[in-house]
């Protein structure tokens, strides 16, 4: 009875090995195929293909055995199939492969060549270029447009349009607001204008300082995205409060923040 159960357990293990081995082999074959295809692909397609390769490399330790992962990645790097492949976030495929090998621990991490370790060290401590002048010009013009729209804002007995003001017909004058809404209409826009101006200014300072560090670059981009979202929200609120000029100004500031974040997309 025991021998039959042992035989059944052994057959299940062998079946699992037989089914998992092709799966891991297929994953490595897919990485190899993509790497060779990416090496001859147009420049516009290569970052996306490199990103797919890096994602597959990250899956290897959990979906393939340690020895299969180490052997496959070593073979790819020795053949140079990963050289020159950089994803949209600036991560080279060779660095991703080396980091995966190091994550496997002993003894595979000890087999990483010294030049690969040095490449990882240099990449982790690198500084990224920042288009500070283009960002400064973009945010400056966004501030100018924001100020222009603000100064053309709500005037009593007039309705504001993006390209001019027109007289309001009798009976359609804005309803006077009282209390907090009145304060928001006449005091809030200037505070929001200054707040958006300072937010974009601090975003620029963050980009030219900590934005050069790979670990902080995504946070700076998220900061600009947050400023843009805030600008859109404030623009809608100011429209609702009867201050469309300030609303368009907030939209201009949001557009500047989006453009600045877009300039940091490729480290």
The 10s digit of each residue's pLDDT in 188-233 is 677 888 889 899 999 999 999 888 887 788 899 999 999 999 999 9
The two three-digit tokens of residue 222, written as one number: 């998220």
**Cα–Cα distance list, 178 to 12, 109, 183 (Å):** 78, 70, 8
pLDDT digits (tens, 9 = 90+) for 162-185: 444 445 455 544 554 445 556 665
- For the entire predicted model, the pTM comes to 0.55
**Cα–Cα distance list, 60 to 20, 21, 97, 116, 212 (Å):** 12, 12, 10, 19, 31
What local confidence, expressed as pLDDT, does residue 6 receive? Answer: 45
Pick the residue with more confidence: 81 or 201? 201
Lowest mean pLDDT among 56-70, 76-90, 147-161: 147-161
Nearest to 148 by CA among 165, 133, 162, 167: 162
What local confidence, expressed as pLDDT, does residue 161 receive? Answer: 42
What local confidence, expressed as pLDDT, does residue 172 receive? Answer: 47
Alpha carbon distance 216, 212 (integer Å): 8
Count of CA atoms in the C-beta half-sphere (13 A) of 141: 9
What local confidence, expressed as pLDDT, does residue 258 receive? Answer: 94
Contact 101, 112 (CB under 8 A): yes
């Amino acid at each position: 009875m025991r021998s039959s159960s042992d035989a059944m357990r052994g057959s299940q293990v062998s079946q699992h090995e037989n089914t998992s081995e092709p799966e891991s082999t297929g994953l490595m074959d897919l990485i190899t195929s993509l790497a060779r295809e990416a090496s001859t692909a147009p420049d516009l397609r290569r970052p996306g293909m490199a990103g797919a390769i890096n994602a597959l490399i990250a899956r290897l330790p959990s979906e393939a055995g340690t020895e299969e992962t180490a052997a496959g990645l070593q073979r790819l790097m020795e053949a140079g199939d990963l050289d020159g492949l950089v994803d949209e976030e600036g991560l080279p495929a060779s660095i991703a492969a080396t980091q995966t090998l190091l994550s496997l621990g002993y003894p595979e991490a000890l087999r990483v060549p010294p030049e690969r370790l040095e490449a990882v060290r240099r990449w982790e401590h690198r500084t990224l270029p920042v288009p500070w002048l283009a960002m400064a010009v973009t945010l400056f013009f966004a501030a100018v447009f924001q100020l222009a729209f603000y100064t053309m804002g709500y005037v009593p007995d007039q309705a504001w349009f993006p390209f001019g003001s027109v007289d309001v017909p009798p009976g359609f004058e804005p309803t006077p607001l009282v209390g907090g809404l009145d304060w928001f209409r006449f005091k809030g826009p200037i505070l929001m204008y200054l707040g958006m101006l300072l937010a974009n200014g601090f975003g620029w300072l963050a980009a030219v300082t900590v934005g050069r560090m790979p670990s902080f670059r995504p946070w700076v981009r998220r900061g600009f995205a947050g400023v843009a979202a805030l600008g859109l929200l404030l623009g809608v609120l100011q429209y609702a409060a009867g201050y469309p000029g300030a609303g368009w100004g907030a939209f201009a500031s949001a557009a500047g923040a989006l453009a600045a974040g877009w300039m940091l997309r490729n480290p």
